[in-house]
Structure 1
Amino acid sequence: MYATMRIILVCAAVVLQFGLGLRPLLTQGHASRGLAVAAFVVLAAVTAVCCGWVVRRKPLPVALVAVAAPVVVAASFCATAAVAPDQRFQTPDWSFGLVGWHLLVLLLDRAGVLVAVLAAHLVASTGLFLAAGVPERAAFGAAGAAAFGALAVQLAVVVVTRVLHRQSHEAAAEAEERDRSVTRMLAARQGDRDLHSLFAGRLGATLPLLAGLADGALDPRDAATQRRCALAATQLRRLFAENDDVPDPLVHEVAACVDAAERRGMDVSFAVSGVPVPVPPQVRRELTGPVITALSAARSRARVSVLRTAEEVRIAVVADARDEVVTVPTGRVAVECGVHGEYLRLEARWRTRQG
């Protein structure tokens, strides 16, 4: 908003300086014209320098503003001093109203400083006007009207600019919030679709087992069938837990696997250490997959431990299973598995900082 207004203000300053200030300058007396011409050139030079940033819609450097603002005020004061005392605040005093437009270009986004500088310039100009003697009532009224007219328009520009800037900022904030809402909604829909796909895939994998049990092709008393049933039940239990809104999803999902094992009559000890760390859903599935397999292979006892650090997340399972379970390696989760006597030891690791 400020960039657009500065372009308008630069154009206004150029038009006013050359359209309304050049003729009074040329008709000014030779005795004081040199000082007025120097002030005119300085004001034009400041406008030309500012154009380098304004046309590129970039904010003016602080150093430029700090130097140019006092320069344009001093130039205006010199131009006013070159005018006859009885002509100040009138048409020959072309710099009084003009300097406000230059200050608007420089200090548009610093409203407090702008108002202070305009007030200081008005006080200095009024002091110079009164230093020549007490003016007549008509001259004093004309000077007041000229000062009020010039400053009122310039302050109105400041107010309008700040209102438009606030409105554009609010509109941008609302648009950003709408974009965030749409993104959250799309992410939620995608999550629902992914979850439905997972449920469908898991149920599809379970259907042959249920069909085998229903038509008698599978014997419920067979150890392999019982292990398949335990595996399917634990996978579904973990899948249901994945959709829960909890502070620590990983521990919640591992606890669901432990609960499913305990419901089969197993004695399972569960330990957690370390503070929670964010783990993506896909990584949680890869971490808990081997755990589910190990718990399903256990006969009566198991110990599950979760260790979290800033660099790594580990889930270890020790179960009374003689057979080594089959795990599918992934690029993100490393799995180590081995049989030691009557016990199976399995560990899944995920490094939080890949490198």
Structure 2
Amino acid sequence: MGEHATVHATMRIALLGVAAGVQFGLSLRQLAGHEYRPTWVAVAAFATLALVTATAAVWVVRGKPLPRTVVALGTVVSLTAASAATAVVPEGGHFGAPDWAVGLVGWHLVLLLLDRVPVLLAALGTHLVVSAGQFALAGAPGRAEVGAAGIVALGTVSMQLAVVVITRMLVRRTGQAMAVAAERDRLTTRVLYAEQWEREQRTVFAGQLGATLPLLADLADGVLDPRDAGTRRRCALAATQLRRLFAENDEVPDPLVHEVTACVDVAERRGVEVSLAVSGAAVAVPAEIRRDLTGPVVAALSAARVRAKVSVLRTDEDVRVAVVADAGAEVVAASTARVEVECGTYGDYLRTEARWRRNS
């Protein structure tokens, strides 16, 4: 339920109490204290307005919006009952104590049409015009009578319109409060996400640097010979892993291809001739899945000697990243929970393929 419906449901409960209180607390006493001709018309009008209140209560007490049929029939019936009650008011009683319906029916209209302000204004205007017409036809009212009638009409309608104004103000304030709360929740979510992302990045960087630092320490201490082919492969692997890790944090339209391109760039800087083929439209691939897809690429390109071919294929069913390279050493690439990895050697060439099934 939106803020409009919530406010209207709450206000209708209060209006239900007002309408019932005015009818049975004030109007009933006025009905019983005056003579109407014929009396049954006034009693029937009173009972009809009570029935409208009871019918509306079926939905109001449950916080449900009033059906259009109930609103339409209730409005017509209320206006008709009020007009009938005013028609049998004793002489000189219009807009006075005997004319109990003139003030009561407005609360019924507000109850029914609270969320339909233009229709409510039209209904209240119709009620006042009809009541004024009946007042004029009852005799030639003097200036004092007209002034008194105007004060009664203005006072009654002003209170009822004040309820409408208060309701609209509450709707606006409630909407503003909910917008502020929603924005606060969005900011809180963003902060929590940023903190989680930062923790994950620290973990990833710590793991990557933890694997790289021993290599750097061995090189610095002379434990490893930079001219050795194995050492160069380890250095190439570490460089490619770090470059892919840095590329993961870039804001780009196609993160997967961007990270693969970063790995290709490191290999080309080593003098490896690499061709990259991309097919299929870009799809959203989670960061952890991209790490698993590019892991075999990093390993294969790090072992490549002269040339390599990298292909990225995206379809509706899966995403594949494959590498064919003239690797000078065996490369180990294992499958993960969500990414299948195939690795095989064909003569002097190594082929790896990582596959992510999008619906898995």
Give the shorter-chain TM-score range. Answer: over 0.9
Query: What is aligned with 1:32?
Result: 38
Q: Deviations over 1:63-89 (max 9, x none)?
A: 322222222222212211221353111
Helix, strand or coil: the match of 2:236?
A: helix
Contact 1:304/1:317 (8 A) holds in 2 = yes
Of residues 184, 193, 216, the one that matches 1:178 is 184
1:299 match: secondary structure: strand
Aligned ranges 1:103-142 → 2 under 5 Å: 103-142=109-148
- Asked if structure 2 preserves the Cα contact closer than 8 Å seen for 1:231 and 1:296, the reply is yes
- Mapped pair 1:43 → 2:36: no
Q: In the alignment, which of 311, 322, 328 is matched to residue 334 of structure 2?
A: 328
Aligned to 2:273: 267
Shift of 1:216: 2.7
Unmatched runs of 5 consecutive residues or more in structure 1: none
The amino acid across from 2:353 in the alignment is E
Answer yes or no: is the 8 Å Cα contact 1:320–1:343 preserved in 2.
yes
Q: Which moved more, 1:139-148 or 1:234-243?
A: 139-148
* Matching of residue 61 in structure 1 with residue 67 in structure 2: yes
- Unaligned runs of at least 5 residues, structure 2: 1-6
Q: Name the residue aligned to 1:158.
A: 164
Distance in 2 between residues matched to 1:272 and 1:136, nearest whole Å: 93
Q: 1:278 aligns with which of 275, 284, 290?
A: 284
Identity %: 61
Q: Does 1:296 align with 2:302?
A: yes
Between the two proteins, the alignment pairs up a number of residues equal to 354
- The answer to whether the 8 Å contact 1:85/1:129 transfers is no
Given that residues 333 and 348 in structure 1 are in contact (C-alpha distance below 8 angstroms), is that contact kept between their aligned partners in structure 2? yes
- Equivalent of residue 18 in structure 1, options 9, 12, 24: 24
SS of structure 2 residue aligned to 1:87: coil
2:202 corresponds to:
196
Are the equivalent residues in 1 in contact too, given 2:321–2:354 (CA < 8 A)?
yes
Query: Is the contact made by 1:5 and 1:161 (CA closer than 8 Å) also made in structure 2?
Result: yes
Write the distance in 1 (CA, Å) between the matches of 2:233 and 2:69: 77
Aligned to 1:341: 347
* 1:299 and 1:321 in contact (8 A); partners too: yes
Corresponding residue number in structure 2 for 1:88: 94
Letter of the 2:307 counterpart:
R
Q: 1:30 to 1:117 in 2, by over 3 A?
A: closer
- Paired position in structure 1 for 2:104: 98
Counterpart amino acid of residue 140 in structure 2: V
Structure 1 residue matching 2:309: 3-state secondary structure: strand
Q: Does 1:246 align with 2:252?
A: yes
Mean Cα deviation higher: 338-347 or 113-122: 338-347
Equivalent residue letter for 1:118: L
- Measured in 1, the distance between the counterparts of 2:54 and 2:74 equals 12
Q: What is the aligned-residue RMSD (CA, Å)?
A: 1.7
Cα shift at 1:49: 2.3
Q: 1:131 to 1:227 in 2, by over 3 A?
A: same
Deviation at 1:252, TM superposition (A): 1.2
Partner of 2:319: 313
Amino acid at match of 1:79: A
| TM-score (norm. length: structure 2) | 0.93
Contact 1:271 1:305 in 2 (8 A): yes
